[in-house]
Chain A
Amino acid sequence: MTAFEKVLAARDARKLTAVDFIANMFGDSFIELHGDRRFSDDKAVVSGLAMLYDMPVTVIGLEKGRNTKERMERNFGQAHPEGYRKALRLMKQAEKFHRPVLCLVDTSGAYCGIGAEERGQGLAIAENIMEMMTLKTPILTILIGEGGSGGALALAVADEVWMLENSVYSVISPEGCASILWKDSSKAAEAAEALKMTAQDLFKLGVIERIIRQPKAEDKAMFESLKLLVSRTFEKNLSMTDEELTNARYNRFRKIGNNL
């Protein structure tokens, strides 16, 4: 697959979304919690509590929706500031009860609109990034489709970041990049190549820790092994002191580009 084919696969409307992952991993144990307690409940973010075997966890996902009606409701997975604030509220709650946080990222980016700007989209993302850096509980992020720029990073300041084999993660969409740099959005395929945005590229660059096999619906075996992998990672990180954990997270990002 070329880089741009991977981009299209990551955007494929038929692939599993965050709610599918939650259903497959946590089943009935998931309880959804709504709202940022400030402004509203952003449905582009689905979040709540669940049991991972016998371990309570907080789960936060960016949800694109599985059909047209859902996609409208979920704003195509593009969160407003209140969505990021809901996520941060639940992360702070997770810190208080010392339960690990699992983030599932699938978004083309944070929403670009008047309301989002008026309510401080930049600040909302900045606050998440800053607070996640020192959150005293384990955080694991899995990119399950598109990882669009700051809107994805706002849920991806984690101890480890994993990606599905056909997911992408980039500072800008290939179309946006091509239209800004070459004034021609039809050169998106070239831009996708140049941006090094596939899971395989990011693994090589040392930006992610693990590539996960692409699951299909009802792929019980795959989800079982993913659960096991997630719980082992959480157990390992729960055994660290708060200082060890947040130092490791800081250094994970600190090392990117310090060899200049």
Chain B
Amino acid sequence: MDLFSFRKPKNELESPSDQQQNVPFVPDEMWIKCPKCNTMLLTTDMEENLRVCTRCNHHFRMNAKQRIAMLADENSFDEYDADMESKNILDFPGYDQKLEKARAKGSKESVMCGKCKMGGIEVVLCAMDPDFMMGSMGTVTGEKITRAFEYATEKKLPVVVCTVSGGARMQEGILSLMQMAKTSGAVKRHSDAGLLYITVLTDPTTGGVTASFAMEGDIILAEPDTLVAFAGPRVIEQTMRQKLPKDFQTSEFVMQKGFVDAVVSRDSLKDTLVKLLKIHGCGVGEAK
């Protein structure tokens, strides 16, 4: 018997055949590390907890589908313009490949829009998607949001938009900038019709989206610890060459400065939205 077998060289212990026999197989995606408190979380626990860290309440990003599943009543979401896809209108170098890569992650565009029920109340819901070019606003994004507002104005429905965006999509040049004006115009018409618009700012909400429909809600909610900015912290640090104050541009900071109505944790977000819809008389007189 080999008395010193426990001293087997490390590389032998870790040989693939050994591993396959003795070590239980742990798939990479089974665990996820919370970027805020560094706790290792079981992915299933985190998902079940609305993608929120069970230890420190850090809110992980949600893609559009997850957001809709969380906010819309079950099976009530009816998507609009699902097939509308971005094109490389300006023939911008590398944009086609970028779009292909983004689509490969499973989302078709940086926003999903549709009609749904929230606590039984009919609402137009738009959810931006961090998985698609970090929610950047291109022509299709602007067009889908504009159509959603125009539809809501026609049908006299409230609108809830969950924002997450790195800003305007520079590969579409001036056309993406124009989407800020286009969407704002549709928001204004919806507002002038006396209808309710609630925005939910989620991490990150920046640039051209902040400087248009994200800040135009009657009520502006934000998830905790969300970056809310026009110019992001890196841009400011580069231009100012100075350190930024602690917690600068977090949703809590922006609320303290007076630009957000309330910071709402994900676990009470849907209830808060439903409450607000009811206070505004939404859903009254609708067929149950």
Measuring CB to CB, which residues of chain A are less than 8 angstroms from any residue of chain B?
Answer: 110, 112-114, 116-123, 125-127, 129-131, 133-134, 149-150, 153-154, 157, 169-172, 177, 180-181, 190, 194-197, 202, 205, 207, 249-250, 253-254, 256-258, 260
Assuming the contacts A117-B236, A256-B178, asked whether A197 and B185 have C-beta atoms less than 8 A apart, the reply is no
* Interfacial chain B residues near A153, Cβ < 8 Å: 177, 180-181
Complex-state Cα separation, A119 to B216, whole angstroms: 16
Q: Is B249 an interface residue (CB 8 A)?
A: yes
Assuming the contacts A169-B174, A197-B173, asked whether A122 and B215 have C-beta atoms less than 8 A apart, the reply is yes
Q: Is B273 an interface residue (CB 8 A)?
A: no
Complex-state Cα separation, A194 to B189, whole angstroms: 34
Q: A123 and B143: CB pair below 8 A?
A: no
* Interfacial chain B residues near A133, Cβ < 8 Å: 181, 184-185, 188
Q: B175 and A257: CB pair below 8 A?
A: yes
Cross-chain pairs A/B with CB under 8 angstroms, 7 sampled: A120-B215, A122-B210, A122-B229, A129-B212, A150-B207, A254-B182, A257-B143
* B231 and chain A: residue at smallest CB distance: A112
* B189 and chain A: residue at smallest CB distance: A250
The residue from B139, B170, B228 contacting A256, defined by CB atoms under 8 A apart: B139
Which 9 residue pairs across A and B have the least CB separation, nearest first? A257-B139, A122-B210, A112-B231, A122-B230, A125-B211, A121-B230, A126-B215, A171-B177, A133-B185
Q: B239 and A113: CB pair below 8 A?
A: yes
Q: A118 and B90: CB pair below 8 A?
A: no
Which of B178, B212, B240 has the most chain A CB within a 10 Å cutoff? B178
Q: B182 and A257: CB pair below 8 A?
A: yes
Complex-state Cα separation, A116 to B215, whole angstroms: 15
Assuming the contacts A129-B212, A195-B170, asked whether A260 and B182 have C-beta atoms less than 8 A apart, the reply is no
* Interfacial chain A residues near B257, Cβ < 8 Å: 118-120
Q: Is B284 an interface residue (CB 8 A)?
A: no
Q: What is the CB-to-nearest-CB distance from B182 to chain A, in angstroms, rounded to a whole number? A: 5
Q: Is B224 an interface residue (CB 8 A)?
A: no
Q: A260 and B84: CB pair below 8 A?
A: yes
Identify 8 new A-B residue pairs, CB closer than 8 A, beyond the known A122-B215, A130-B187, A260-B87. A112-B239, A114-B242, A121-B230, A129-B181, A129-B211, A157-B184, A254-B146, A256-B182
* Interfacial chain B residues near A116, Cβ < 8 Å: 230-231
Q: Is B279 an interface residue (CB 8 A)?
A: no
Q: B181 and A126: CB pair below 8 A?
A: no
Complex-state Cα separation, A181 to B166, whole angstroms: 13
Summarize B's interface: helix, strand, loop or mixed: helix
* Interfacial chain A residues near B229, Cβ < 8 Å: 117, 122
Q: A126 and B176: CB pair below 8 A?
A: no
Q: Is B219 an interface residue (CB 8 A)?
A: no
Q: What is the CB-to-nearest-CB distance from A180 to chain B, in angstroms, rounded to a whole number? A: 7
Chain B stretch 168-226: residues in CB contact (< 8 A) with chain A: 168, 170-182, 184-189, 192, 207-208, 210-216
Q: Is B244 an interface residue (CB 8 A)?
A: yes
Q: What is the CB-to-nearest-CB distance from B283 to chain A, in angstroms, rounded to a whole number? A: 26
Assuming the contacts A149-B177, A260-B87, asked whether A134 and B236 have C-beta atoms less than 8 A apart, the reply is no
Complex-state Cα separation, A257 to B168, whole angstroms: 14
Q: B192 and A134: CB pair below 8 A?
A: yes
* A158 and chain B: residue at smallest CB distance: B181
* Interfacial chain A residues near B171, Cβ < 8 Å: 181
The residue from A134, A150, A157, A197 contacting B211, defined by CB atoms under 8 A apart: A150
The residue from A122, A129, A260 contacting B143, defined by CB atoms under 8 A apart: A260
Complex-state Cα separation, A133 to B192, whole angstroms: 12
Complex-state Cα separation, A251 to B231, whole angstroms: 29
Q: A120 and B259: CB pair below 8 A?
A: yes
Complex-state Cα separation, A256 to B177, whole angstroms: 10
Q: What is the CB-to-nearest-CB distance from B150 to chain A, in angstroms, rounded to a whole number? A: 9
Complex-state Cα separation, A190 to B90, whole angstroms: 14
Q: What is the CB-to-nearest-CB distance from B144 to chain A, in angstroms, rounded to a whole number? A: 9
Q: Is B140 an interface residue (CB 8 A)?
A: yes
Complex-state Cα separation, A194 to B210, whole angstroms: 25
Complex-state Cα separation, A254 to B149, whole angstroms: 12
Q: B182 and A196: CB pair below 8 A?
A: no
Q: A257 and B179: CB pair below 8 A?
A: yes
Q: What is the CB-to-nearest-CB distance from A219 to chain B, in angstroms, rounded to a whole number? A: 28
Assuming the contacts A171-B208, A253-B185, asked whether A114 and B179 have C-beta atoms less than 8 A apart, the reply is no
Q: What is the CB-to-nearest-CB distance from B285 to chain A, in angstroms, rounded to a whole number? A: 29
* A180 and chain B: residue at smallest CB distance: B170
* Interfacial chain A residues near B239, Cβ < 8 Å: 112-113
